[in-house]
Amino acid sequence: MIPVTLRDLLRTVLFLLVITGIWWNVPSRAANSSQNPWGGNYFPNVPLVTQDGKQVRFFDDLIKGKVVAINFIFTGCSAACGMETARLRQVQDLIGPERMGKDVFFYSISIDPDNDTPEALKAYAAKFNVGPGWTFLTGKQKDIDLLRNRLGLYMPPVDKEKAKLGEIDHDLAVIIGNQATGRWQKASPMENAEVLATQLGSWLSNWKVKPAQQNPSYANAPVRLPELSKGEEMFRTRCVGCHTVGQPNESARAIGPDLTHVTRTRQRGWLVRWLKEPDAMLSEKDPIATALYEKYNKIAMPNLKLTDGEIESVLSFLEKGSAAFQAANSAKK
Ligand code: HEC
């Protein structure tokens, strides 16, 4: 699990510097692939099993020559991993089905292989309705620990009980990389999906911005951020992976309900408490919460640990978003 030789150790440290963006020269120099230091000697070729029970090797079958996004999850972690899965699903949609699985590959690797059998991973993928080009993997604990180490995402063993309650105690970052050119980058869990999709897309030939990304309010976000209200910014960073507002037609694949008019359909007190402790309300079997939970594939809304001020901001954004939607709609009529 710990790198054995000094050279190995130095390379791991170098890789960490690269992905954290501290040392950018390395990837550009490594664009000459003969010098690419992150090859089969760096990434272990450990055996893994897919959600369909297929045996694969990490380096040869999953990343060699490919543009990839890799994260670590476990199916028992409802809150934090669910958020991460939701965000990657947005990235997947932005990349588009014609590219996913051909030019770009996503891998979610279980850090709880004892419980995460291929069947459990398959059920998890189905619950989140993930599309093609995204593989869920499990394997031997020691091989997975080694991978996490090499990818710079190793943390001490997970406290699964805490994680179930939404405490984030494994590294939720996504590593994105282009193995052929040696470009690797670590994206924080709060980075928005457009930024990630744009970065992955920039490594592909003939990458075209999809129409959805030309929508000025959204696509330009990574380049030139318009003045965002605090509530809107929160919505974009914390909620948008699972919810829409003012776009009921685009919510067909959404993980959670469209939130247009929710500030009218629900009582204020209920909403405030829901945003503060959805986990508690679900475990108390609050009737509205339970009905929604059943309807939305039994994916629990995560406790995002919002402060009272953040709750106020996001609710006022939802109010404004709904009003804007209504105004736009009545203008059409
Ligand atoms: C990982 C996905 C996910 C994230 C992230 C998420 N939610 Fe939810 N949300 C859900 C799901 C799923 C439900 C339906 C209830 C359930 O299954 O727990 C829900 C329900 C709701 C409801 C109740 C809707 C109704 O019809 O009454 C509101 C309001 C809500 N979420 C607001 C938010 C806000 C605001 C954020 C961001 C600060 C957020 N959610 C982040 C998944 C998510």
Measured CA to CA in angstroms, residue 76 lies from 73, 80, 118, 131, 159 at distances of 9, 10, 14, 21, 11
Is residue 131 classed exposed, middle or buried when 0-12, 13-18 and 19+ CB atoms within 10 A define those classes?
A: middle
- Are residues 171 and 57 part of one domain? yes
Which residue among 183, 213, 243 closes a domain? 213
Sign of CA pseudo-dihedral 316, 322, 328, 333 = negative
Measured CA to CA in angstroms, residue 300 lies from 139, 165, 286 at distances of 26, 11, 13
Q: What is the pLDDT of residue 249?
A: 65
Does the Cβ of 254 fall within 6 Å of ligand 1?
A: no
Residue 305 within any structural domain of the chain: yes
Q: What is the pLDDT of residue 106?
A: 96
The CATH code of the domain that includes 78 is 3.40.30.10
Residue 245 within any structural domain of the chain: yes
Residue 206 within any structural domain of the chain: yes
Say if residue 239 carries a ligand binding annotation: no
Say how many domains are in the chain: 2
Q: Which domain holds residue 156?
A: 6-213
Distance of CA 47 to the CA centre of its chain: 24
Contact criterion met (CB below 8 Å) for 79 and 170? no
Q: Which atom of ligand 1 is nearest to the CA of 239?
A: 37
Query: Ligand 1 pocket check: which of 75, 243, 259 to mutate, most ligand atoms within 8 Å of Cβ?
Result: 243
- Are residues 100 and 71 part of one domain? yes
Q: What is the pLDDT of residue 189?
A: 64
Q: Which atom of ligand 1 is nearest to the CA of 86?
A: 1
**Residues counted in the chain:** 333
- Please give the sequence-ordered ranges of beta strands (E in DSSP) within the chain, or none if there are none: 47-50, 55-57, 67-73, 104-110, 134-139, 174-178, 183-187
- Are residues 93 and 23 part of one domain? yes
pLDDT in tens, 13-58: 777 777 766 554 444 444 444 567 777 778 899 999 999 999 999 9
Bridge partners for 70 per DSSP: 107, 175
Element containing residue 310 per DSSP (H, E): helix 308-332
Q: What is the pLDDT of residue 329?
A: 78
pLDDT in tens, 260-279: 889 999 999 999 999 999 99
Does the Cβ of 317 fall within 6 Å of ligand 1?
A: no
- Are residues 207 and 274 part of one domain? no
- Are residues 271 and 169 part of one domain? no
Residues lower than pLDDT 50 in the chain: 1, 24-33, 165-166, 168, 211-225
